[in-house]
Structure 1
């Protein structure tokens, strides 16, 4: 793979093979393998700075687990970026995968990671059904949870609040709360001469429909600070365009202008498009798929391999289906039976035993005689 697609990354960890106490030279046992294709490595630079990792068991001849890291572009399309085959969900296996992922693919800082809350993953993040984008929402939802039972809140208190509440995660989740990434179902659209993804366009258009019901009370254009009021319920929100922050929480979580930001821009005739993150622009999404995969070709055309022979780990082989094979030692009776065919003791013929002999008298034959 690295010969066909240079700068792809592959890391193989093997174990020695022993015959009694002597190590066998030229043969190794496959233990773990990590790989990432170069087009995926380059494409990650234009994804959301968010990685989700998950695993699945192998169901073939050998036991083990497949570890996968996926990312998402600005149009909610999912792309796998790295893989690993390991012996199982152990702490060492996850460390092998995540360390290589960090070293070769996710080389920038400030990238969020989401995973199942598995004991073997150091970056385990708690799942929650309550997505609190503001501190007020969190306090309200936390109180509701406490009313259901102290055990619920005690379980949440044991987890760092930054790991399961959007209002305190520093925006690293981009609004995602589980490892269940959703892909986009539609294609791109164009608005006002600027091309954005379908996801971003829908969100902005939805915000535009509600922006007309918002009144800007006070503003400090020099510091880009605004105070707005919802006409329907009278709630007041503070918008800080310089820091890209709004009390509603949507602006900083999704990196898209919310209805309050759009109302401020309309009031002061500001260009709202500068507050759309670059990851949602089609020019950036096209860069994700700019890399090409090279055909591997027939194995006979590959360069000869001169390294040690790598064999499968026989300790991970699954038991074959069907009747288990006998592992007992053969005795003298077994050897005698294998030397000559069986002979029926009733009719004297070979090829069957007395239990299957057609001349054996049974209930039916006795009934016929009577």
Structure 2
């Protein structure tokens, strides 16, 4: 409970109880008229500094620190001696365990209404404290949203750099330090494996050197993309029996290198995708191709079939030829389901220029065209499924490495729990539907209520169901428990989500960790000078597909602009002729 009192001048002040000294954002006294007063007490030096900062920002004034010692804080207005006599001196009273204002000259007499668009005392630490609730709710909070929040709360427009730094500090304060997060990662993983013995965790590390001497610790070769250290989050996804996206593997690596992809694909093959005859769809990144070649046949026919995303082929084509009006044709060639359809579209591209088809011929047809893929693509032509998971985890990729792993763990737990419950509910509904249809068949009721039943094989109970009044038709196999609507396949879906995540509980109950200490790779640290660079670079895949070729406004021909027209030189020459 706060205690109140009055100083000799009659100013009412508020005294705070002693807070936790570790909190750098300690509470500050609140005064009725918004001004300081001699005798006002603070719980800590940090509370003094925060109070003076908040006061200066709120009043659109500024101050200069003349003395900042363990026992004293002394500041004056930047206009002191030039028309403003504002000053404040606060000292530590050891016997009372508090800081007390010993001298104060009253409010500012500065005439300037505002300092500038920004405020020197509105630093990233102050902003970080203000935006903590927003960052905690959404770690993917955009920097422009931080700037807008500062504008709303403080009536100042801060720089992009300051807002970005504030967000990073807020993330660190909420989710822990970046370096400490590396040390916590193996401890958390060991606890997870202790709770779930079937879990598999695999690290590949590099030794750390100090000068020429080998350090006894090891470091992780990378982390997420958006934080203090560079890195990549690799993801593999598949689909369940109801065509829902299922993330099946994750890896945090130093970047999209051949070694990183080999590490990921090797573990994916060993621990997750153990069956043969699977299709692997990816972009045409050289490191992925190199990793597939290094897999000793694990990701090559007949065990697996590596195919390419048609959108990335489209992007590569556009980067090579700068011909956006041919993008759609290239995509349609990939989507061709018959050889005849493929040949017609291929010939149409060749007629526009043999260079286009010569480039396409360098890619094996079975790696990009449906007509030649052997059915291993299951109709999927892009890596959009992975992009969906990437968007879901975008916020998590702003976090320190252990917080990132935890966020992925809990989101997977939520997904598996929800999908398992949905599958069980639909299985129960499917059994009821089966009993209704079977009874109608045995009673020779070919039409009743909102369904019409046509029997094709009474002995094996294979028939067709038409829903009324929509007219939707489904083939139903009661013996095989299969239906075009997908209801009977729910048992297979339930098997996909049969894994159950176990809570890790109180860290005090975890087994003692005796393994090596992890530290981040200093060479992967993000550049701290200047404005932070964007993490997503636009390429040809981000451009709008043009349906018509570019037309020159000078000569009227297609395929180039006015600036690249050959007639430009002739026109300039004619202009110079007398």
Residue 82 and residue 101 in structure 1: after superposition, are their counterparts in 2 closer, same or farther (change >3 A)? Answer: same
2:211 aligned with 1:20? yes
Equivalent position to 2:264, from 97, 101, 107 = 97
How big is the alpha-carbon RMSD for the aligned residues of Structure 1 and Structure 2?
3.9
Q: Is the alpha carbon distance of 1:137 and 1:64 closer, same or farther for their aligned partners in structure 2, counting shifts above 3 Å?
A: same
Change (3 A) 1:149 1:283: same
C-alpha change, 1:80 and 1:274, in structure 2 (3 Å) is: closer
Q: Contact 2:222 / 2:520 at 8 angstroms: preserved in 1?
A: no
The superposition leaves residues 162-191 of structure 1 with CA deviations (integer Å, 9 ceiling, x where unpaired) of 1111121111110000001389xx996859
Residue 143 of structure 1 aligns with which residue?
347
Which of 146, 160, 167 matches 2:371?
Answer: 167
- C-alpha distance in structure 1 between counterparts of 2:273 and 2:523, whole Å: 33
**Cα distance, 1:84 vs structure 2:** 0.7
User: Which of 57, 74, 81 is residue 248 of structure 2 equivalent to?
Assistant: 81
Deviation at residue 320 of structure 1 after TM alignment:
2.6
Q: Which runs of 5+ in 1 are unaligned?
A: 34-56, 195-261, 266-270, 324-370
Alignment partner of 1:23: what SS? strand
Q: Describe the SS at the equivalent of 1:120.
A: helix
Distance 1:66 1:274, change over 3 A: closer
* Bigger relative contact order, structure 1 or 2 (CA pairs below 8 A, ≥6 apart): 1
Deviations 1:303-344 (A, max 9, x none): 111011111111101123569xxxxxxxxxxxxxxxxxxxxx
Residue deviations 1:200-251 (CA, integer Å, cap 9, x gap)? xxxxxxxxxxxxxxxxxxxxxxxxxxxxxxxxxxxxxxxxxxxxxxxxxxxx
- The structural deviation recorded for 1:300 is 2.8
What is the Cα deviation at residue 285 of structure 1? 1.1
**Mapped pair 1:9 → 2:200:** yes
Residue 195 of structure 2: SS of its match in structure 1? coil
> Is contact 1:14-1:32 (8 Å) kept?
no
The alignment status of 1:119 with 2:286, answered yes or no, reads yes
2:434 pairs with 1:193: yes
Matches within 5 A, 1:1-370: 1-25=192-216, 27-31=217-221, 58-122=225-289, 123=306, 125-127=308-310, 129-130=331-332, 131-181=335-385, 193=434, 281-320=489-528
Deviation at residue 273 of structure 1 after TM alignment: 8.1
Per-residue CA deviation, residues 268-297 of structure 1 (Å, 9 max, x unaligned), is: xxx998797999812211212222111122
Compared with structure 1, are the counterparts of its residues 127 and 280 closer, same or farther at alpha carbon in structure 2 (3 Å cutoff)?
A: farther
SS at match of 2:265: helix
User: Would the aligned equivalents of 2:228 and 2:525 in 1 still touch at CA under 8 Å?
Assistant: yes
2:214 counterpart SS class = strand
* Offset from partner CA, 1:51-110 (integer Å, 9 cap, x none): xxxxxx611010011100011112221111111111111111111111111111111111
Bigger fraction of residues in helix? 2
How far apart, CA to CA, are the structure 2 residues paired with 1:77 and 1:32?
Answer: 30
Deviation at 1:145, TM superposition (A): 2.2
Query: Are the aligned partners of 1:73 and 1:279 in contact in 2 as well (CA < 8 Å)?
Result: no
The 1:174/1:299 distance shift into structure 2, 3 A limit, reads same
Residue 283 to residue 274, structure 1, CA distance change in 2 (3 Å):
closer
Contact 1:86 1:93 (C-alpha < 8 Å) held by counterparts: yes
- Check conservation: 2:481, 2:488, Cα contact below 8 A: no
Name stretches of at least 5 consecutive residues in structure 2 with no aligned partner.
1-191, 290-305, 312-330, 390-421, 436-472, 532-578
Could you say if the C-alpha distance between residues 279 and 17 of structure 1 is closer, same or farther in structure 2, counting changes exceeding 3 Å? Answer: farther
SS of the counterpart of 2:193?
Answer: coil
The number of aligned residues is 231
TM-score w.r.t. length of structure 2:
0.36
SS at match of 1:11: coil
Deviations 1:108-128 (A, max 9, x none): 111100011211111462516
CA contact (8 A) 1:17 1:29 kept: yes
Q: Select the structure that is richer in strand.
A: 1
d(CA) in 2 for partners of 1:148, 1:295: 61
Q: Distance in 2 between matches of 1:170 and 1:280?
A: 27
